[in-house]
Amino acid sequence: MTKLSVNINKIATLRNSRGGDLPNVVQFAKDVQRFGAEGVTIHPRPDERHIRYQDAYDLKPEVYTEYNIEGNPIPKFLDMVLAIKPTQVTLVPDSIDAITSNAGWDTIKHKDFLVEVIQEFKQNGIRTSIFVDPDVKQIEGAKATGTDRIELYTEAFAHQYSLENYDAIKPYTVCAQLCNTLGLGINAGHDLSLDNMKFFKENIPGLLEVSIGHALISESLYLGVENVIQMYLQRLK
């Protein structure tokens, strides 16, 4: 079964809006695991507008499933990940002012940089994943970096699915098939939701993990967190 990792950035956004500690991100991480989530994802950014770097340290002893830290490997991020040693680090080429992730790596142009970063993480026992667009050349480039996995950037699929253009899944399926041939693990994330999750899962052979944040938290406002997690797990079977 594909693992569900819950991205808790939005919980930190809500907390930060009032300047206190409600909701508490550590408690939320403990709760989603208790409700059945198989991982917790955070994506700290340099301005700490949602997840703070201290949150990453505070979460370490409480995440007993898979701990996935996403981000652009700037020096501060590198130091944090090497100190915490999460289960997985997902490299995302965010610009400093990006509202959310909006593009995958050019794994060919940035090969040397990615090779260096990935080697250091792997030497420290941290599984690596690279955020990529559904492009076979970028998948081949990712393989050349030595990464363990790639994370397919799924915003384009999600948008087209909402317009009933179901053929939008095709480049993702092709990339997944290539990953399976190359021995690359497959993760996916961005705008996946209860509406499109089952269809996506059925068309991505070898899908190991999805990271869901914005949609899952939004859906939970109406349906409840525990219920929503169970609904995702059903779609991922």
Catalytic one of 66, 151, 190, 209? 190
Catalytic (active site) residue 110: no
Strand partners, 207: 186
What's the CA gap between 237 and 234, in Å, rounded? 5
**37 close to 5: Cβ distance less than 8 angstroms:** yes
Q: Is 190 among the residues known to form the active site?
A: yes
The active-site residue out of 38, 43, 66, 151 is 43
Measuring CA to CA, how many Å separate 19 from each of 22, 29, 140, 198? 9, 19, 44, 37
**Looking at 38, 50, 66, 70, which residue is catalytic?**
70
Name the β-bridge partners of 149: 129, 185
43 is catalytic: yes
Name the nearest CA neighbour of 103 among 145, 143, 153: 153
Token pair, residue 217, equals 């938290």
Active site residues: 43, 70, 190
